[in-house]
Copies of this chain bind each other. A is one copy, B any other.
Amino acid sequence: PRSYRITLLPGDGIGREVVSVAKDVLSLAGSFEGVKSNEKIHSFSLASMISSNKCISFVLLSYAGIEFRFREVPIGGSALDSVGVPLPEETLTAAKESDAVLLGAIGGYKWDANEKHLKPETGLLQLRAGLGVFANLRPATVLSQLVDSSTLKKEVAEGVDIMVVRELTGGIYFGNPRGFGYNERGEDIGFNTEIYSVPEIDRIARVAFEVARKRRGKLCSVDKANVLEASMLWRKRVTALASEFPDIEIFHMYVDNAAMQLIRNPKQFDTIVTNNIFGDILSDEASMLTGSIGMLPSASISESGPGLFEPIHGSAPDIAGQDKANPLATVLSAAMLLRYGLGEEQAAKRIEAAVASTLNKGFRTGDIFSDGTTLVGCKRMGEEVLNSV
């Protein structure tokens, strides 16, 4: 069987619960190919065998597909609590040596007042930089089963299918100089640098053009080129690269207008490419159009090393440990891990189909619950997905 090393980073809050579910789903989706058609085996309740770890070797032997070796290491607040830093050396090394990284969520009120270098978020930023995952893919898809969860009118929300390609290792997040100091009047100041180089812009733009090509062939580049020099260079390079992708329809939009257009008529968008900070804001805005951010995965890709896969939702400390979290965003992140991280398209599709079928059966966690559906917890939702794999 093909074998992969997966680094698991449960992180903080609900991270542990949702990663645990996604790990099981990943195992099952990889471990047996073709079982779907085998009614006999199915009646054995593979799901429960897997989740109880019984008979798993039997499954692996019989249906040699993909084998995963998991290694779990700490990051974020839990790393701060156990090791004293948000990204232990061991964690980065493990991540780098693996074939793909699956992250839960990081952060929590507990560490909010920490100094910068002791913030959970800093660990995540260090991990992104350390892995060089410069391209962050964030789909915002309105699933037909969940269109009512959106606060948008049904006719506006239904069919929305946007991919935000966010630059992830540059811009104002990492630019220097940054820090605190005094201005010429002796006043305290805080400052950061928004900065992009041509190679940085070119590589993210190329990823975006390629992504658009596999989608509906329409790319919107978002910037603030009427004000910012960093954006002027961005627009210039995206415009120049467009000639390499004559099949892609490219257009440019100012970030303030994009923030409006996403609400006015989200269906005008297919693929969006933008810088780190605008991507942070717009991808979250786009995700909320779907009304179900507990459903949304993300993939962060590097030039050649392992990718980083994580749900876009946060660590939700208020519901952590209560078996209330929606694990589907992490499960779908595992699907992205298979597709973009390992090139295992079949297994990725199997997971996505299992999620769709679980929703079709009416199972819902609290965040996406509506009248007439079946309210379940995190664990049970995981079991139902396993049943559908």
Q: Decide if A288 is an interface residue (CB 8 Å cutoff).
A: yes
Q: Decide if A246 is an interface residue (CB 8 Å cutoff).
A: no
> Which residues from 220 to 273 on chain A have a C-beta closer than 8 Å to any C-beta of chain B?
224, 226-234, 255-257, 259-265
A55-63, A275-283, A344-352, A380-388: which lies at the interface: A275-283
CB atoms of B195 and A229 under 8 A apart: no
Give the nearest-CB partner of A314 in chain B: B257
CB atoms of A264 and B151 under 8 A apart: yes
Q: Please indicate the chain B residues that have their CB under 8 angstroms from the CB of A318 in the complex.
A: none
CB atoms of A281 and B263 under 8 A apart: no
Q: A298 to chain B: closest CB distance in Å?
A: 13
A38-46, A180-188, A303-311, A371-379: which lies at the interface: A180-188
> Which residues from 281 to 320 on chain A have a C-beta closer than 8 Å to any C-beta of chain B?
281-285, 287-289, 291, 293
Q: Decide if A34 is an interface residue (CB 8 Å cutoff).
A: no
Interface string of A134-176 (1 = CB under 8 A from B): 0000000000000000011100100000000000000011010
CB atoms of B191 and A198 under 8 A apart: no
Give the nearest-CB partner of A156 in chain B: B151
CB atoms of A179 and B229 under 8 A apart: yes
Secondary structure of the A side of the interface?
Answer: helix
Q: Please indicate the chain B residues that have their CB under 8 angstroms from the CB of A265 in the complex.
A: 151
Q: Please indicate the chain B residues that have their CB under 8 angstroms from the CB of A178 in the complex.
A: 228-229
Separation of A127 and B259 alpha carbons in the complex (Å)? 25
CB atoms of B277 and A263 under 8 A apart: no
CB atoms of B191 and A193 under 8 A apart: yes
Separation of A233 and B187 alpha carbons in the complex (Å)? 12
Interface centre among A234, A263, A293, by most B CB within 10 Å? A263
Separation of A151 and B262 alpha carbons in the complex (Å)? 10
Separation of A228 and B189 alpha carbons in the complex (Å)? 12
Q: Please indicate the chain B residues that have their CB under 8 angstroms from the CB of A261 in the complex.
A: 288
Looking at the complex, which one of B172, B256, B285 makes contact with A194 (CB distance below 8 Å)? Answer: B172
Separation of A281 and B254 alpha carbons in the complex (Å)? 9
Q: A20 to chain B: closest CB distance in Å?
A: 25
Interface string of A102-135 (1 = CB under 8 A from B): 0000010000100010010100010000000000
CB atoms of B191 and A195 under 8 A apart: yes
Contact flag A260-B233 (CB < 8 Å), given A175-B191, A199-B187: no
Separation of A284 and B259 alpha carbons in the complex (Å)? 7
Q: Decide if A68 is an interface residue (CB 8 Å cutoff).
A: no
Q: Please indicate the chain B residues that have their CB under 8 angstroms from the CB of A264 in the complex.
A: 151, 288, 291
CB atoms of B190 and A229 under 8 A apart: yes
Contact flag A260-B280 (CB < 8 Å), given A152-B153, A153-B152, A190-B233: no
Looking at the complex, which one of B156, B198, B232 makes contact with A187 (CB distance below 8 Å)? Answer: B198
Separation of A13 and B86 alpha carbons in the complex (Å)? 52
Q: Decide if A192 is an interface residue (CB 8 Å cutoff).
A: yes
Q: A332 to chain B: closest CB distance in Å?
A: 18
CB atoms of A195 and B187 under 8 A apart: no
Contact flag A191-B259 (CB < 8 Å), given A151-B156, A151-B264: no
- A-side residues, CB < 8 A to B, are 107, 112, 116, 119, 121, 125, 151-153, 156, 172-173, 175, 178-180, 183, 185, 187-199, 224, 226-234, 255-257, 259-265, 277-278, 280-285, 287-289, 291, 293
**Can you list 7 A-B pairs with a CB-CB distance of less than 8 A?**
A180-B229, A189-B196, A190-B196, A190-B229, A190-B232, A260-B285, A262-B285
